[in-house]
Structure 1
Amino acid sequence: MNGLEKKQDQRRRFLRTLYDATGGRRLTFILAPDIGTKLGLTQEEYTSTTDYLVGRGWMKWETLEGKASITPAGVDEAERLIAADAPQPERRNIPAPVIAEISRAFDATYTHAQIDNIFMEASAPGAPPEGSKLRKVAAWLHRINADSEVDALDIFGRLVREFLARPRWGTDLDPHAAEAYDEEDSRFLDALAAHGLSYHDGKIFGAGLLAPSKTLAELIRARDLTAIGKEFERAADKIASKSLGPLWKVVQRHLGIAPTPELDEDLKRVLGGLASIVAGVGAFRTHAGDAHGRGPGAPSIEPRHTRLAVHAAHTVVTFILETWKGSK
């Protein structure tokens, strides 16, 4: 660190410390020499730093004994420094092979005017690029990736929603036409999956959302799958309903994980919570999932809701498998 960089660092640290000590409040007075001592500044460095901060209007002397306050401009600058130092979330871009696939699909499906309209409605930045439809879509998507002011996958999700909802001309007369549309959709969704992405309800989800399921799959592969199937069939035969609630009660009894008076109160609460998770995930699938179709009044699901359900289900199933293995 050269001399200039050292001075700049001292000024930033002094202002940040003053901001923290005052809580960003204008009328809170702090002994500035104490800050200098805390930061290990020499007298010369302390004088140079405070003179600079006062000169910029970020700090104000309040008493002859060295008490100082932070000014409104100083609060703004300190908060700017805090924001600049905060870790930035990893930017989510559209993978290049996915850009190639959606460009091909848009080229085969839409006119130039339709492409322009779809991208503008999705809030894609900038004017329509020049060139063929294929080049236009690819260039626009690369521009979205390069624009740090937008969420690339958020815009891409809107584009995908429009594409998957496109009119399917001729499918009522020609069954082969319907198959062609389905193949087009599958080809595109497979391209997403190949790069750790998935689509649901106008949003693109990253690979991190599905990580627990992969771990669970590895856990199941490590077990005796035939035995698991037999255990499930044996439990299912004992209940009339195939819903999760009655099945969970059978699993609880068989594995000895039902809350009982003998258990510690804290453990009873945790085991009781498993039943709530099972009931909640089952209801979530019924009301918010697409297994039974999604009507116009279906709730809007955010990524955090889906992530919560996936992780909760993963935790319960992992606990069941580990308990079952330990009981054998």
Structure 2
Amino acid sequence: MRFSAMQSGPKIPTAIIGTLSKTLPDYFTHADLDSMFLMAGAPEPIPDGSKAAKVKAWLRKINVECAEPLKILGLILDEFMELQVQDQDFWSGETDNVAKVETSKERVKEMLAKDGLSFIRGGTISKGGALPTLSLDESVRKHGLSSVDVEIKRAVAMIEKDPHAAAQYAGNVLEATLKAYLDHKQVAYGRGDALAELWKTASAQIGLRASDLDSKDLKKIASGLHGIVDGIAHLRNTKSGAHGRSEEQRQNINIKPRHARLAIHSAHTIAAYVLELIE
């Protein structure tokens, strides 16, 4: 099915189209590009011309004919962002080639950021800036925490589509992170412990309770973190998609994408800090 531009979601920015038309041809053959775009859901027929012309024309075509251009862009970028020098048969794997591909990836990230977008591992394009999420994503990859990774992807992917579910997953990210931290520190916790109890145990281990701190300013920060965790737990338990609702409850609970994004970024900021302490 084809969609008009009026029906389409947020479009791929022109600057990104220009950047990718210059970047992707350096790393992929015509056959590779065809496979990447088609697997991501780009519309047929395949555009003619050079690799650069093909990429530019196809991304523009996605903007015009597809309902969710940024979703398709995310899937295309996922293959590029995971690219390693050793994946390319025609590369020698020398240091300059490694530097080149990493520089290209950073350039794409910078161009996305200029339009308020960011790439999240797994093929998601996030709107509104995602520095806490990116920092958390790096820590998760470093420590191989797949349980946290799953919840990050779920939360970010559902912000616009189902903010109620996204709010639930924001709490899940925090819960999975606290469990990972406590497991690493070999600190016992109950299997049925709620988020508030996990935070109580973890914050005591970290030394983040207000009573542990002498500075008035730090006490306020510690109290603020406790308030964030408590708020996210309450949001997940009473207003997210975690439980079935009556029709009256459904009408009275109105979590918008901006609310879900607030919960997600707050949870990710705390989670990123906690994972730093695993070191």
Q: TM-score, normalised by structure 2?
A: 0.48
Asked which structure has the greater RCO (Cα within 8 Å, sep 6+), the reply is 2
Q: TM-score, normalised by structure 1?
A: 0.42
Structure possessing the higher radius of gyration over alpha carbons: 1
